[in-house]
Structure 1
Amino acid sequence: MARTALIVIDVQESFKVRANWQLVNHADIAERVNRLVHAARDQGDLVVWVLHTEPGAGGPFDPAEGHVRLMDGLEPLPGEPMITKTAHNAFTTTNLQQLLTQHGVGKIVVSGIRTEQCCETTARVGSDLGYEVVFVTEATATMALAHWSVSDEATVEEILADPRTLTAEQVAERTEYVLAGRFATIRTIDELIGVPVAS
């Protein structure tokens, strides 16, 4: 039977230094991911850590700025792969597929930041590459999303005041709609860690 890998995408300090972090839906994303990490280890699954980098960009994702590191509370074990990417998905600019093949992985569980961006894109590419994909929306985080025509310089207040802005919850729901039945199966944290459902 093919192994499962938990992919933890971009749960890094870079996001916390940006103004829009105050719009995040799951400020406790590190704790949510940790629940999956501990369960994955208990089940003998592979845990793969991914960090997003933009070398030379001078912003929070530039490794030289010191923020490209896992959020406090997340501690990879020796032997757990840590890879860095420069694309939205975790496959294109990394050796992730090679790593998964070496470990006999046929199923990936996607978690991390941002729900509709790096997590969703990784799920789509993973599905196209032939992996069974499980998407744990509640173990992903995102922020309110401004309309595409809004300036990158807009303040958090301006974004929130714009009626076209999608809330983080709306963004996450949209991701579930487009992934489910096509690219991934949506699961909750409790379902994956084996917490019994109350009747």
Structure 2
Amino acid sequence: MTRALIVIDVQESFRARPLWETTSDLKIADRVNRLVRLARRSGDLVVWVLHSEPGSGDVFDPALGHVRLMEELERADGEPLIHKTSHNAFTTTNLRQLLTERGIRELTVCGIRTEQCVETTARLAGDFGYRVTVAIDATATNPIPHPDAPAGLSVAELLADPRTLSAEEVIRRTEYALAGRFATIATVDRLEAAAELQV
């Protein structure tokens, strides 16, 4: 086993936010489940990552009960579950140690949000020397307001602002930023097809 699937922040916290309705893929858990099944069939390690902000009083505060895997996902016995408090999955966790102890050199990364926790994890993993693949259609994100937009926009105001960056634009930008520098960009279909060829 030299490969691992890193599932980042596919958690109920996001569904508890009003912005969830604008998410690029409301059924992201379905594609993540396909990757998990693929990893398990291949004998790859599956690592589950949850974002936590203790004491924040918002949906990422564990005390409110939303910091848990989305209900469609099922973690198998022995699969690590780690909690992070930074954007990337390495800085505030023992992820690198866990991967090193198991001889992992290749990572497939998926999860929420594409340009935030997924991208920062992929960038750092690339700098650490891992061979990284981002399963781009097993990531999801939301529209991003313009930097000059007022704080606290409602969902309707966010979507009505012509300066808002759409979720699709955010994902495309992440593909351009990572490809050939920090990661290989692939789809779930492509990863499944590649696995079939190795059988």
TM-score higher than 0.5 here?
A: yes
- 1:86 is matched with which residue? 85
Residues 45-89 of structure 1: CA deviation (Å, up to 9, x unaligned): 000000000000000000000000000111111100000000000
Pairing 1:1-199 to 2, within 5 Å after superposition: 3-194=2-193
TM-score normalised according to structure 2 size: 0.96
Q: Distance in 2 between matches of 1:169 and 1:6?
A: 24
Quote how far apart the aligned CAs of 1:152 are. 3.0
Quote how far apart the aligned CAs of 1:194 are. 2.0
Deviates further, 111-120 or 144-153: 144-153
Q: Distance in 2 between matches of 1:178 and 1:160?
A: 24
Quote how far apart the aligned CAs of 1:150 are. 1.8
Deviates further, 144-153 or 3-12: 144-153
SS in 2 for 1:91: coil
Quote how far apart the aligned CAs of 1:13 are. 0.2
Q: Distance in 2 between matches of 1:9 and 1:114?
A: 8
Residues 138-172 of structure 1: CA deviation (Å, up to 9, x unaligned): 00000111112223310011111111101110000
Percentage of matched positions with identical amino acids: 60
Q: Give the residue type in structure 2 aligned to 1:165.
A: T
Q: Distance in 1 between matches of 2:128 and 2:150?
A: 35
Q: Distance in 2 between matches of 1:157 and 1:175?
A: 25
**Number of matched residues?**
196
Residues 109-130 of structure 1: CA deviation (Å, up to 9, x unaligned): 0100000000000000000011
Q: Give the residue type in structure 2 aligned to 1:156.
A: V
Q: Give the residue type in structure 1 aligned to 2:161.
A: D
Quote how far apart the aligned CAs of 1:5 are. 0.4
Q: CA RMSD in A?
A: 1.3
Quote how far apart the aligned CAs of 1:100 are. 0.4
Quote how far apart the aligned CAs of 1:93 are. 0.2
Quote how far apart the aligned CAs of 1:192 are. 1.0
Q: Which runs of 4+ in 1 moved over 4 A?
A: none
Deviates further, 85-94 or 157-166: 157-166
Q: Distance in 2 between matches of 1:45 and 1:53?
A: 26
Q: Give the residue type in structure 1 aligned to 2:175.
A: E
Deviates further, 145-154 or 158-167: 145-154
Quote how far apart the aligned CAs of 1:7 are. 0.2
Point out where structure 1 has 5 or more consecutive residues left out of the alignment: none
Deviates further, 143-152 or 126-135: 143-152
